[in-house]
Amino acid sequence: MADRAYNFAAGPAVMPEPALRRAQAELLNWHGCGMSVMEMSHRGSQFAEILAAASERFKDLLKIPDTHELLFLQGGATGQFAAVPLNLMGSGTASYAVTGNFSGIAAREAGKYGRVHIAYEGRDNNYSHIPAQSELDIAPGSAYFHYCANNTIYGTAWDYIPETGVPLVADMSSEIMSRPVDVSKYALIYAGAQKNISPAGLTVVIIDRRFAGHESPMTPQIMSYEKMIAKGSMLNTPPCWCIYMLGLVLDWVAEQGGVEEMDRRRRERSALVYDVLDNSRLYKAHAEPGSRSMMNVTFRTGSEELDAEFVKGAAARGLLNVKGHRLTGGMRVSLYNAMPLSGARAIAEYMKDFEVEHHV
């Protein structure tokens, strides 16, 4: 491939080209210090500067209030499936909404450490639906309510913040920094950063300080929010390179106009693709209209052969990684922050051309 393709992968995923170019320019010699960020001590003053800048930028962009701490961790969102119950569940019950694969795994993982109450289960609609407030059955006195804000595999998203009367925990892996969030409403937000804001290897946690310090005694120290807060995310070696890349990506987000602009762009990009779906006789969207994700658009033709042909034809046009997850089949077009509008246009045009060629 001569030039960069449009990469619609769900994660690891497309990164902003200016961030990649800056990393390239600074690769061998960061700011004249004579070494790469990859080679620095994580305890040195240069890396301290890099971490502080990324952290400040992050807090600034998402308007994280002083009541909340920002942590840079490892272990992915999957690590948080365990860390959240270990730290927050106590001897009580936690309520989980299961709206897809990852929220189901999160609920099962939490079940190892305490009582889990399923507040919603979407299996019967094949996870095409996001429950309304009235469909949630929260166990009274729950230690917390956990939900996945954007379901990466099924292409659905919550367009509201549930008012449950219990502390709120959200997995925002595939949508963090794509829109403004009222962080004050949450006890905890976590995200595997490789979907929308960094390379794989970094996990971001935003926690209301009041919820730290109550962990189960068996909690591994690298999963203890309290210890990580006390050590400024540096209880052990942090994912230095990813934190550096996060900083470059967030500089780009800020230059572009912040999360408000990211939100405007994701609406514009996803509308191009949903518009094709809504006017098609070939494609069927997976998500219900009121439950649609602006980050991951899922659809199928109804024929596995045709789906495979679609994916192959897309790749031939430089539109990569549009094959759906094995749980859903069909196609998935991920439209993260770094996907230019021209990429959304290109996939929408291809969808229309493919329909003209193949519709019977």
What is the rounded CA–CA span in Å between residue 348 and residue 333?
A: 10
Binding mask 235-274 for ligand PLP (x = CB under 6 A): ----------------------------------------
Does 77 contact ligand PLP by CB under 6 A?
yes
Least Å from the CB of residue 205 to ligand PLP: 12
39 sits in the region (left: phi over 0; alpha: psi -120 to 50; else beta) called: alpha
| Cβ nearer to ligand PLP, comparing 333 with 346 | 333
Residues 274-293 that bind ligand PLP (CB under 6 A): none
Least Å from the CB of residue 103 to ligand PLP: 8
Least Å from the CB of residue 78 to ligand PLP: 3
Does 152 contact ligand PLP by CB under 6 A?
yes
What is the rounded CA–CA span in Å between residue 302 and residue 312?
A: 16
Does 74 contact ligand PLP by CB under 6 A?
no
Number of residues counted as binding ligand PLP (CB under 6 A)? 12
| Cβ nearer to ligand PLP, comparing 102 with 244 | 102
Taking the CA atoms of residue 52, residue 295, residue 131 and residue 93 in that order, the dihedral angle to the nearest 10 degrees is -30
Instruction: Give the start-end residues of each E strand in the chain.
Output: 6-7, 68-73, 93-98, 115-121, 144-148, 150-151, 156-157, 168-171, 188-192, 203-208, 284-285, 296-300, 319-320, 331-334
Residue the block writes with tokens 């089949």: 329
Does 190 contact ligand PLP by CB under 6 A?
no
Chosen residue from 104, 131, 162, 192 binding ligand PLP by CB under 6 A:
192
Quick one: which segment of 123-131, 167-175, 313-321, 344-352 binds ligand PLP (CB under 6 A)? Answer: 167-175
Does 76 contact ligand PLP by CB under 6 A?
yes
Does 174 contact ligand PLP by CB under 6 A?
yes
Residues 193-212 that bind ligand PLP (CB under 6 A): 195
| HSE (side-chain half, CA atoms, 13 Å) at 32 | 0
| Cβ nearer to ligand PLP, comparing 87 with 173 | 173
Quick one: which segment of 70-78, 84-92, 223-231, 346-354 binds ligand PLP (CB under 6 A)? Answer: 70-78
The Cα angle at residue 326 between residues 322 and 328, in degrees rounded to 5: 80
Does 102 contact ligand PLP by CB under 6 A?
yes
Quick one: which segment of 85-93, 166-174, 221-229, 351-359 binds ligand PLP (CB under 6 A)? Answer: 166-174
Token pair in block for residue 218: 């068996």
What is the rounded CA–CA span in Å between residue 258 and residue 63?
A: 11
Least Å from the CB of residue 86 to ligand PLP: 16
Chosen residue from 171, 208, 226, 307 binding ligand PLP by CB under 6 A:
171
Residue 52, amino acid: A
* Cis peptide bond upstream of 85, omega within 30: no
Does 337 contact ligand PLP by CB under 6 A?
no
| Cβ nearer to ligand PLP, comparing 105 with 183 | 105
What is the rounded CA–CA span in Å between residue 291 and residue 110?
A: 26
C-alpha to C-alpha distances, 18 to 156, 256, 354, nearest whole angstrom = 30, 11, 32
The Cα angle at residue 158 between residues 204 and 211, in degrees rounded to 5: 40
Least Å from the CB of residue 297 to ligand PLP: 14
Quick one: which segment of 21-29, 76-84, 275-283, 315-323 binds ligand PLP (CB under 6 A)? Answer: 76-84
Residue 183, amino acid: V
Residue 240, amino acid: C
Token pair in block for residue 328: 């859903």
Least Å from the CB of residue 33 to ligand PLP: 31
For binding to ligand PLP (CB under 6 A), which residues are involved?
11, 76-78, 102, 148, 152, 171, 173-174, 192, 195
